[in-house]
Chain A
Amino acid sequence: MLVFVAKRLGSLVVVLFFLTLLVFTLGKVADSDPVRTYVGVNASAEAVTAAREELGLDDPVPVQFASFLGGAVHGDFGISLASKRPIADELSSRLPATLELAGWALMLTVVIGVSLASLYSRPGRVGAFLRFVFFSAASAPSFLIAMLSVLVFYKWLGGVLPAAGRSSYGPYEDGTGFYVIDGILHASPTYTWDAIQHLLLPALAASVGAGVALARVLADGISSSLSSPWARTARALGENEGTIVRRHALRNASSPALSLLAVQAGFMVSSLVVVEQVFSWNGLGSYLSGAIGVGDFPAIAAVCLILGAVYVVLNTLVDVALAAVDPRVRLS
């Protein structure tokens, strides 16, 4: 097990290194000129030279990469070309916003997946109809689900749930940036409940697709487990069907479901970017699309690196968890 963990950590470092290299290379070949974006089209020649110096563009490319990599390791992503402020400062309040939303979306995914799994393998017409509904939900782009949920819960039902922003009250000065946790820490049920209400619709929009996919894998796993010899043995021993599903089939189906969850987490990152935009959620996603709009590549690179690192680390954790659950994984 220790060898397995060491190997996975080694490849984690390699992947992160190449990820940084790739993003850095893209910055070099990017079609917009960083200096011009920084000082403006009409700047004087001296201003351009000064900006080149300030942005470190006069150094040899390997030196530039070394300082980019060193900075990224320490959470320093350079200066935003658009706002001319350190990118790390701008992201510090946005990262918790995205992570909070992602955490809730992941929880909702599991809830949706587990609760729909038993409906998925239902026989007959009802089952076929349900599968049709789930299939359409999984095919809908996350921004469509976001829009429809805003129409239903905000416009037509007269604002039962808020459709924009993270809170009606604004952040606590000394808070963690995770609003629900902040509310609990300050013992304020109104603040906490308000933050949860703001989270519900965006988290739902980001998790429907992943939840349905999870339900499908769980249902597949359970149904193949139930027709296996050991399930027959359990039946022969007089266990009832519910116990067999809960005790045995669900556990066996959980390992493919876990690896699917890691894949879905990658997709979820992209749907979060989209969903944040619909709900004016002040996270990394809306920062990213803002940066895309003005061609601020260092800012784009920073967001891509952070989200990419989260994804790669998450995948490593899932692999280790799978190996811990299933000895076959670490021995192969």
Chain B
Amino acid sequence: MSLSLKQVDRIARLAHIELSPTEAEATQAKLNGIFGLIEAMQAVDTTGVTPMSHPQDLIQRLRADTVTETNRREAYQAVAPEAEKGLYLVPKVIE
């Protein structure tokens, strides 16, 4: 398979990544190289093979529904690009 420029643009939009037309073209070529490599997977019949997401096939641990974290809002917001009165500031979304 190979990706068209239009598909590259669509994926970039989904991923919130801006590509200039020149970058998109260079990216298209590289992505198609990578998908050429990945394509080898399709030659293998995997019918009936259970997908493996964790080597020990671990079941997610549950914990009690209680507060375990201490409030460190100031420390965490100290590294934010813009924060004020305990809030993260972003451009206005709703008029």
Do A and B make up one complex?
no
Interfacial residues, chain B to chain A (CB-CB below 8 A): none
Interfacial residues, chain A to chain B (CB-CB below 8 A): none
